Structure 1
C-alpha cells in the first residue's frame, strides 16, 4: 500500500503556452491552403515538380495541424487534469491557464465514465444523487464538495436502534492519488463515510441518562449531548480512511439523530419519566433545606419551642406544601394537638 502512495505521488506537468501553439497552427493551415492554391496554378502553367512537392507538403500540414490542436487544454481555477501517455503517468496540470501538451496524452478521471448512466441508474446511485454536477469531462474538481449521507439505522452502545445522518465537506487534495490509488474516489469516500458513521455510532449511547446516572461527573459522551465531539471523531477516522485516495475531509456534521420509529414512543416516555424524577429530586432537596432552615431559625430566635411530635407535624406539613403539585388548602387549628 505504501509503495502505491509513493509511486503515484503528484507531480506537476510542465506544459507550453497554448496561445502560441494555437496561433502557429492556424497560421500554418492558412499558409498551407494558400500554398495549395498557388502551387496548383504553378503546376498547371509550368508543370514543375516543385509545385507538386509544395502541394504534398501543404496537405501534410493541413492533416497534422488539427491533430496538434487536440493537445490544447484549458484549466479553470480549482481544477486539475491528470495526464498519461500510452499508459505512462506524465503529471498533472493544476495551475489555471491555457496550455498545450502532447496531443496523444490522455486525461484520466474515473468518475467521468458515469456520464452515460440512465435516469433510473442515477436515481438509485448515491454518488450521482449527491454529486452529479461534478462528473463532467476528464478534469478533476479541487473545490469543496458536499456529501450528504442519507439517514441510516444503526444500534447505539446500548443496542437501541437509532437513525443517524451526517453531511461531509471534502475536497481532492492530490489529484493523482485520487485517480490511480482507488477505482472511483467519489464512491470510495461515500462508502467509507457510511462505514465510519456506523462504527462511531455503535460506540456511544444515544443519551447519557440511558447509560446510568451513577457517573457523578457525567463525563461520558453521548450522540445527543456530545454531537460536536462525536462528529470530530468521525472526521478523524474518515480522514484516516481516505488518505490513500488523496482526499481531505474538511468537516463532518451530524444532521439527523433520532430513535428508530419502532421505539420512539417508548423512549419518549422514558425520557419524560427521567426528567420528572430529576425534577422531583431537586424539589425534595430544596424542600428539605427550607424545612431545616425554618426549624433552625425558630429555635435560634426563641420564637417557639417545639417538641419532637410538633416538629414532626411541622415537617410533614411543610413538605406537603413545598412538594405538592397543587396549591395547599390551609386548615386553621384553634385547639391543641394533645
Structure 2
C-alpha cells in the first residue's frame, strides 16, 4: 500500500471517444488521500454499520501508520467435559403393594375353593355320589387354584434396611421400602437392594504426595444407596463404580504421610469426599466420608524415602539441640557478667563460650 500527499485533490478529466463520434468526459470515482490511510473509494465510507451485538468478539489492534482496519477475531468455543445425565425415567418411586393379610386371605380362599370343588365333584374319600369331574369342576379347580397361588406366591417379608426393586418385562415398576408381611404381585421381578449405611475399606491404592512421590493409601469410605432405581438399574455394578471413583480421586488429590500437619490430612480427606460424592451422585449413591486410614511409601521408593526421612529428622534434632545449647550458653555468660562474678575480655569470653558449648553438647549426647 502506498501513501500520497495529505491534501485532497480531484483527478483530471480525460475525454474518450464514444461510438457516436462525440467525446465526453468520464469522471472516475472520487478518492480521499491521507497519510494514515490508503486510497479508499468514497462510496465505501457510507456502508451500513453492523449491529452493536455483532462487535462483541475480541478486536486485534491495528498497526500504527499502516491504515489497517481493526480485525474482529471470534474466540474459540470452550469445550466442557460432558457430565453423566441419569435417565429421567429411572428415579425411585414407591411401588403399589398390599398388606400381607390380603395375600393370606386370598390363599386361604383358594384352598377353600379347591376343597369345595372336590366335595362338589364327589371325589372326597367316603363320598358315594357326586357330579363327577366335568368341565365346570375343572374350571372351578383352575380358578380357585390360581387364586391360592397368587395369594401365597405374592407374600414377601420387608426388612429394615432392605428394599425390593420391582420390574415387569424389563420396565421399572417401583421400589418397596416397607417392612413386615407384604403382598407383591408375583408376576413382577424382585431385586433385593441394601439401603443401610455401609462402609468399605479399600486395599492399597496407588497415590502420590504433593512432590509426586509414589505412595500406597488405604481409605475408608462411608456410603449408602440413596436411589435404588439408579443404583441397580442405571449402572451395571454400583459398588465397582464406587471403587473406581475412589481410585480416580486418589490420582487427582495429593496425600500426605501421617505425622505431618494434621490440617493437611483433613484437607485431603475433604477433597476426596467432594470428588467421590460428585462422581457417584448420578448413579444414586450417597457418599458421606472418604478418609485415608493408612499411608505408606510405594515399595520401589520405600527404602530411599525412609533414609531421607531419617536424615531429615536427624538434622532437625541436631538443629533443635544446637539452638538449646546456644541459648543455655548465652544465658550462663550473661548471668556471670551482669552479676559481676567475673570480668572477661574478648578472648576470655570466647574461650568460656567454647568450653561451655562443648560441655553442654556432651551432656546432651549422653544417654539418660
Question: Which secondary structure does the structure 2 equivalent of 1:74 belong to?
Answer: strand
Alignment partner for residue 113 of structure 2, among 26, 31, 37? 31
1:1-338 map, 5 Å: 4=86, 6-40=88-122, 52-107=135-190, 138-200=191-253, 203-206=254-257, 226-324=264-362, 326=365
Taking structure 1 as the reference length, the TM-score comes to 0.73
In the TM superposition, residue 300 of structure 1 has moved relative to its aligned partner by 2.0
State whether residues 39 and 52 of structure 1, in contact with CA within 8 Å, keep that contact through their aligned partners in structure 2: no
Question: Which secondary structure does the structure 2 equivalent of 1:153 belong to?
Answer: strand
State whether residues 114 and 145 of structure 2, in contact with CA within 8 Å, keep that contact through their aligned partners in structure 1: yes
Question: Which secondary structure does the structure 1 equivalent of 2:204 belong to?
Answer: strand
In the TM superposition, residue 326 of structure 1 has moved relative to its aligned partner by 4.6
In the TM superposition, residue 258 of structure 1 has moved relative to its aligned partner by 1.1
Q: Which runs of 5+ in 1 are unaligned?
A: 108-137, 210-220, 328-338
Q: Which runs of 5+ in 2 are unaligned?
A: 1-82
In the superposition, relative to structure 1, how do residues 27 and 60 fare at CA in structure 2: closer, same or farther (>3 Å)? closer
Count of residues paired in the alignment: 281
Aligned-residue Cα RMSD (Å) equals 3.0
Taking structure 2 as the reference length, the TM-score comes to 0.67
In the superposition, relative to structure 1, how do residues 293 and 276 fare at CA in structure 2: closer, same or farther (>3 Å)? same
In the superposition, relative to structure 1, how do residues 8 and 47 fare at CA in structure 2: closer, same or farther (>3 Å)? closer
State whether residues 95 and 175 of structure 2, in contact with CA within 8 Å, keep that contact through their aligned partners in structure 1: yes
Per-residue CA deviation, residues 147-173 of structure 1 (Å, 9 max, x unaligned), is 221113333332322221112222112
Query: 1:2 & 1:153 partners in 2: Cα distance?
Result: 26
Query: 1:326 & 1:179 partners in 2: Cα distance?
Result: 65
In the TM superposition, residue 94 of structure 1 has moved relative to its aligned partner by 0.3
